[in-house]
Structure 1
Amino acid sequence: MSVLMMLSVILFALMLAIGGVKGIGAFVSLWISFAIMVVMTILISFQFNAFWVLLIGGASLLTVTVLSASADERTTIIALIASLIVMLILLAVILPTEHIAIAQGFAEENSEELEGLSLAININFGTLGIVAALLATLGAIAEASVAIATGIGELLNSKPSLQDNELIGVGQLLGKQIIGTAVNTVLFGFLADFLSLAVLFSKLKYTFSEILNAKLFTSSMLSLLYALLGVIITLPITIIIFLLYQKHQKVDANRGKL
């Protein structure tokens, strides 16, 4: 049994013991997301339009992630819509930023690893950089949107008489706490990935200005900023969609009484 298979069995056993049926669903969604990523990679390598692959694949990943939370219908719909909107906003931010930063592709530090290999893959590295940057943010976006929508939904269930302005205030307070946790998760993940890069820069005796201009550092920092931006803007967008959804439900209920 390989190490990957052994770890997968341990993960499945723990998720089953702790999460029960929901744990099994989360485990299955993990492999479905992995399969979607593999299909996206294959399609891009076969010269399919990378942006269409990114939009369809990203939407599929968000759908699988949100559905795996096993929340109620209202929470699932709101979280999914909010996640998709945030994904499109981030894509609009990433497109010009990646072109300006010119941080895509391999850096000088990768030259030894790439020696003897051909880079003539006939795929634009700028496009690959955009795809990678957006995909790196989707997990944090889906997690934040589900947590915020679930928290607001539970609050509204316990106090259905809350007015919109009260709901916005409480939702902002709740969302700030959730965002704080999500931001720390993203930040710690970045620091863990950056540790080996920091050791490399130290061994090569890079100056501060050289580190700031290093392609590896720039791409890593941009990925962190994209994820943080996505988590932050998820809060107001989720609250707005929640209010619109509630308003739509009230209008439908009033029509049903007529």
Structure 2
Amino acid sequence: MNVISLLVIIFIFISIIIFKNNSFYFISGLFLNIVIFIGYLIAISLHISVYLVTFVSFLLMTIVILYWINGRNAKTKLAFICVIFFLVTFTIVSLPLITALKTQGFSSEELIELANFDLNVDIPFSELNVSIILISFSGAVIDGSMAICSSTYEIYTKNPELTFKELFNSSFNVVIEVLNSTIYTLLFAFIASNFALVIYLQDLNYSFLELINSKIFVGELLVSILTGCAGILILPLSCLLGSWILKKRFHTLY
């Protein structure tokens, strides 16, 4: 038994203790997402459209996390609508920026390590770069939307007489509280994920100007910034869209 197998067993054991009867859906949902990711890699290697594979994978992961793990109910339906609306809107808005920065492909620092490999990869790296960014923020977007939609739904069911503005303001108070912790979580995640990279570039005696203009650093920074923006923007969007649906289209959730 290797270390990974032991950690998986410990993870499953802890999940069963904490989640009890719901542990089956939690653990099976995790492995379903792993299967989806493997299918995502296989589909791209078969030269299927990267954008199509990405959106289908994102959709499947959203269905697994919301409907399989959390159950099919009004709250998960509300979160699903918010996530899909955000995915389409954010992709349309951010796509020109990602394309303009041209951070796709390998950097000069990576080419040194890949010198012995064939670099003629028949995959459009510009599309793959967009795909990586969308997949990277999928978890944060789904979790954030579920948290806000659940709180908005509970506020509405306890106080159905609230107007749209009152419901939005009450829900937005929750957004502010969640946002405070989310910002620090994203900051520490960025520092942890890029700490080794900064040390590596420092060993190459890069100046600050060379550092902020290096392709490898800008690429990682772009992913982190867009992931952070997605994780933050989904909160007020879920608050606004969730409040509107609950007041105007509540019957459609059942």
TM-score bracket, normalised by the shorter chain, equals: over 0.9
Matched positions, count: 253
Runs of 4+ in 1 over 4 A off after TM superposition: 250-253
Give the secondary-structure state (helix, strand or coil) at the position aligned to 2:96: helix
Give runs of aligned pairs for residues 20-31 of structure 1, distance below 5 A: 20-31=20-31
SS in 2 for 1:20: helix
Unaligned runs of 5+ in 2: none
How far residue 87 of structure 1 moved from its aligned partner, in angstroms, is 1.3
Flag the 1:7–1:87 CA change in 2: closer, same or farther, 3 A: same
Deviation, structure 1 residue 250: 6.0
- Structure-1 separation of matches of 2:93 and 2:155: 33
2:175 maps to which residue? 175
Q: CA deviation at 1:22?
A: 2.6
In the TM superposition, what are the counterparts of 1:137-156 in structure 2 within 5 Å?
A: 137-156=137-156
Per the alignment, residue 96 of structure 1 pairs with: 96
Question: Would you say 1:248 and 2:246 are equivalent positions?
Answer: no
The aligned residue for residue 45 of structure 1 is 45
CA contact (8 A) 2:148 2:235 kept: yes
Change (3 A) 1:21 1:112: farther
CA 1:251–1:197 in structure 2 vs 1: closer, same or farther (change >3 Å)? closer
Q: What is the deviation of 1:76?
A: 0.1
- The structural deviation recorded for 1:69 is 4.8
State, as a whole percentage, how many aligned pairs show the same letter: 23
> Contact conserved, 2:29 with 2:69, CA < 8 A, in 1?
no
CA distance in 2, matches of 1:62, 1:230: 15
CA distance 1:179–1:92, change in 2 (3 Å): same
| Pair 1:82-2:65 in alignment | no
CA RMSD of aligned residues (A): 2.0
Partner of 1:187: 187
Change over 3 Å in CA distance of 1:91–1:251 after alignment to 2: closer
Confirm or deny: 8 A CA contact 1:29 1:64 kept in the other structure: yes
Measured after TM superposition, the shift of residue 180 of structure 1 is 2.4
CA distance in 2, matches of 1:214, 1:57: 31
User: Paired residue for 1:230?
Assistant: 230
**Partner-residue secondary structure (3-state), 2:206:** coil
1:217 matches 2:210: no
* CA distance in 2: counterparts of 1:199 and 1:252, whole angstroms: 50
Match of 2:55 in 1: 55
CA contact (8 A) 1:140 1:182 kept: no
Task: Report the CA distance between 1:252 and its aligned residue.
Answer: 10
Structure 2 partner of 1:73: 73
1:27 aligned partner, one-letter code: I
